[in-house]
Structure 1
């Protein structure tokens, strides 16, 4: 996915080689990683979406935020490979503008949905009585509709307005909110049970896994972006180096987010565990044949 179009960069774009023809090494690595992430992220997102839909039909889950986040990750992963091919081979500027909007699904939509998930868990864990009185389904639908409306709008702004401060401002607002919220939930869930029981309730264990996944995603994918914003201008390097080396290295993190989140969710649902067992069983069954 084209993550650093001239419209979204934080550096001076005058006479800037956007396609990094003079320093192509990092750009090529970035494109190869993008294609590999898409190859893993698409089947992982489809698998996770199928599992979530099955759970919703059976009534065992009603996590609308995770479903919407998975759909958004799927759109992002589907657009990654064509975007990288266009960046390397065709270099169509119109596709780059469209790609900037698609990239907002990862850069803007994902942290917005993660914030919604975090706040929902925060209310359920820290203020359970107030949470039970709320019309949860209605405000969840409204929150999802708002995220789907805001995300492409910000992507469009980034595609046409130079030096847009909106993404950086959102990171500085959303990332600390997610981190503080996750830590508050973890602290509450880790408190000893008043009855003295030492075992962890399965529902509480699932909440712990969800919050841990959210915290890992925040640190891996968005902390580098948040840190790059204020320091990129201060770095003693040319604009071309900032654009084609430093920025592209930092923007590898959102690429990884397209596979980290679905894989973490599949692991928390116990699906990867079964896949590993099948792999081990097939490997052990092949050993006697090899010895013969």
Structure 2
């Protein structure tokens, strides 16, 4: 469901205006603006979402910037999905940078204008992540199942055009989310997340089935390019299951919850798993690299042992005398 409509964290909706002929005391009927939108005493779900977003600030922003730096460094030998990965990393870094603004506005500024900017950033996250992941899945799907067509469509202009389309859809959705008041607008995100989730799962299952089938009888080793695609597909599946399955599983059952429970608990928790993808995505990308540029192996092992992918060979022993 769209956070612009029902999520308390991102709501900037104004109280319903009184009829023109009313004589009631305005101060007694119009509630003051609240950034928690009725969840002032039920903030656990909101704080859970913000806690995960703090991880985006501490870990997500540096790793996304590192991903962008690596893609720029490897621009002379890019893969076909690099442009999608770069755009996704940029959007995730931007979204993570908005977390301090959210905290300041919740507990200090409490400004409607600032909430408009925050709502725009949530619209960017809601749309850019699923769409760019779908583009990556499409790229891998065509490469594995339709290699001849993939060779004809390998030019970067096709991926730039697709990226521009995603940016246009993202900014259109985010602008509409910021303005608010559109009827049934919350169904846009529900339809988007269900469609992209289904597409990504179907794509990746087809790719894994095709890669497994391509080994043939008696073959234990996979072609290096197919093996690389296989690893990418597995990493994308991990992201899909961890980040996209919770909102897909929870949001369609809105009618089974009370309005307060759904708005104050279910929805913030569901979006929390979606938001943390800004950290999980770059970490999984970096973990697939044989060598992470700009950082020493000692630094990587100290920060995160999973980044150390180089196999250590034991020193050669001298033969006995």
Fold match, TM over 0.5? yes
**Equivalent-residue separation in structure 1 for 2:48 and 2:84 (angstroms):** 33
Over the aligned positions, Cα root-mean-square deviation in angstroms equals 2.7
Higher RCO (CA < 8 A, seq sep 6+): 1
Partner of 2:250 in structure 1? 228
Q: 1:267 aligns with which of 278, 284, 287?
A: 287
CA distance 1:28–1:134, change in 2 (3 Å): closer
The CA deviation at 1:257 is 0.5
- Cα deviation 1:252-284 (Å, max 9, x = unaligned): 112211100000000111357945446689xxx
SS at match of 1:233: helix
* Alignment: residue pair count: 274
Partner of 1:284 in structure 2? none
Partner of 2:3 in structure 1? 4
**Equivalent-residue separation in structure 1 for 2:56 and 2:74 (angstroms):** 26
Q: 2:189 aligns with which of 167, 170, 188?
A: 167
CA contact (8 A) 1:19 1:87 kept: no
The CA deviation at 1:80 is 2.3
Partner of 1:288 in structure 2? none
What TM-score do the two structures reach when normalised by structure 1?
Answer: 0.84
- Cα deviation 1:84-127 (Å, max 9, x = unaligned): 33223322112212212111222111110111111111111001
* Counterpart mapping for 1:63-142 below 5 A: 63-134=82-153, 136-142=155-161
SS at match of 1:240: helix
Dislocated runs of 4+, deviation >4 Å: 13-17, 278-281
SS at match of 1:190: helix
**Equivalent-residue separation in structure 1 for 2:163 and 2:43 (angstroms):** 39
Partner of 2:316 in structure 1? none
1:182 paired to 2:187:
no
- Cα deviation 1:139-176 (Å, max 9, x = unaligned): 11110000111101111222313541211111121110
SS at match of 2:213: coil
**Is there any run of 5+ residues in structure 1 with no aligned partner, and where?**
282-292
Partner of 2:263 in structure 1? 243
CA contact (8 A) 2:239 2:281 kept: yes
**Is there any run of 5+ residues in structure 2 with no aligned partner, and where?**
16-30, 309-321
Moved more, 74-83 or 193-202: 193-202
**Equivalent-residue separation in structure 1 for 2:171 and 2:254 (angstroms):** 26
The CA deviation at 1:81 is 2.4
SS at match of 1:182: helix
Q: 1:25 aligns with which of 19, 35, 44?
A: 44
CA distance 1:41–1:70, change in 2 (3 Å): same
Larger radius of gyration: 2
- Cα deviation 1:215-248 (Å, max 9, x = unaligned): 122222222222233211222x2x2222112211
Partner of 1:41 in structure 2? 60
What TM-score do the two structures reach when normalised by structure 2?
Answer: 0.77
